[in-house]
Structure 1
Amino acid sequence: MPALIEVRSSVVPADDLKELSSFASGLNEGELRDLLLALTESLSAGFDFTLLDSSTELTPQQAASRLKMSRTHLYKLLESGEIPSHRVGRDRRITGPDLVNFERRRQAERRALAERFARANQIEREAIDELADEL
């Protein structure tokens, strides 16, 4: 099996997704069933999917491409230790699980920041309404 499989939702026929979903629904409850159902739901919603073998090691260029950032910025993250890496000779490698963990942390931080901004806006609106009521 290749270490990395990419599936673009735009090229998967809707009939195939329905058939896969039907097949998965007929399986006994478990991780495989959950995986197949999540896959069909994601593809049906228009999301592309990447399956990454847990033993996969990526070059900095490959990791930067996956994270949609410049290689320079990725190297800063590697130097700071935000993304763990190891050396193979003089080259760096990033494991697939380390890259996935970084992306999860980054998404959680973005969500938390968005929630803080939303809460700040709500507090500001409430304060303005309260002042307006007093005037």
Structure 2
Amino acid sequence: MPNSQKLFPLPPSEEDIAQAKESSRILAKYADMDRVRMTLKGNEGQGDDLILPGPVVQLLLNVLSEVSQGNAVNIMPIHAELSTQEAANILNVSRPHLVKLLEQGEIDFHKVGTHRKVLAKNIIEYKERITKQRHEVLDELVSVSQEMGMGYD
């Protein structure tokens, strides 16, 4: 499978969405447990038992929640090395803009030969930092608007 398909899978079908909603509802009952034992059954009736750690149950719930909303989901290890195009796609920016951010030191990267590589962890950290900054600016704008009596009480 090409890398782009791994990063951006197709959206779920209506049947997938319905099954994810039901599965999410059932699994949510077990969300606060340290471990969950599950029995998987195939179409032929064969079955296997699994024991899932609590954090894995939370991850599975997050995946099911996204799928139930019709969103395609991708899971990638935080230590995955991304090309500049893959990183730009995750940030929803152009590749040249991402390269500018890299060269300005906004996001850590390393070179493999002449190619820049970015860890997924660094992209996630940058995205979280930018989101936090945006929220701080919006909070400040709301505060100033309230002080000026602009109807944001």
Is TM-score (shorter-chain normalized) higher than 0.5? yes
Q: How does 1:91-106 map to 2 (within 5 A)?
A: 91-106=115-130
Match of residue 21 from structure 2? 18
Length, aligned pairs only: 125
TM-score, normalised with respect to structure 2 = 0.68
Asked whether the equivalents of residues 17 and 70 of structure 2 are also in contact (C-alpha less than 8 Å), the reply is no
Greater alpha carbon shift after TM alignment, 8-17 vs 103-112: 8-17
Q: CA deviation at 1:40?
A: 2.2
Helix, strand or coil: the match of 1:52? coil
- Please, what TM-score do these two structures have when normalized by structure 1? 0.76
Aligned CA distance change for structure 1 residues 38 and 109 (closer, same or farther; 3 Å): same
Pick closer, same or farther for the CA change 1:47–1:32 going to 2, 3 Å.
Answer: same
Residue 131 of structure 1 corresponds to which residue in structure 2?
A: none
What is residue 129 of structure 1 aligned with on the other side?
A: none
1:67 and 2:115 are equivalent in the alignment:
no
Specify whether residues 72 and 109 from structure 1 end up closer, same or farther in structure 2 by C-alpha distance, changes over 3 A only: same
Q: Which runs of 5+ in 2 are unaligned?
A: 35-53
Residues 9 and 44 in structure 1, CA contact (< 8 A), matched pair in contact too: no
Q: Which of 89, 108, 119 does residue 143 from structure 2 map onto? A: 119
Q: What code does the residue aligned with 2:29 have?
A: S
Q: Distance in 1 between matches of 2:85 and 2:93?
A: 10
Which string of whole-angstrom CA distances, capped at 9 and with x for unpartnered residues, describes residues 54-103 of structure 1?
A: 23111112211221112221111101111100010111100111111111
Give 1:133's aligned residue: none
Which of 65, 77, 87 aligns to 2:101? It is 77
What's the % identity of the aligned pairs?
Answer: 28
Aligned partners of 1:63 and 1:99 also within 8 Å: yes
Q: Which residue of 1 aligns with 2:42?
A: none
Unaligned runs of 5+ in 1: 127-135
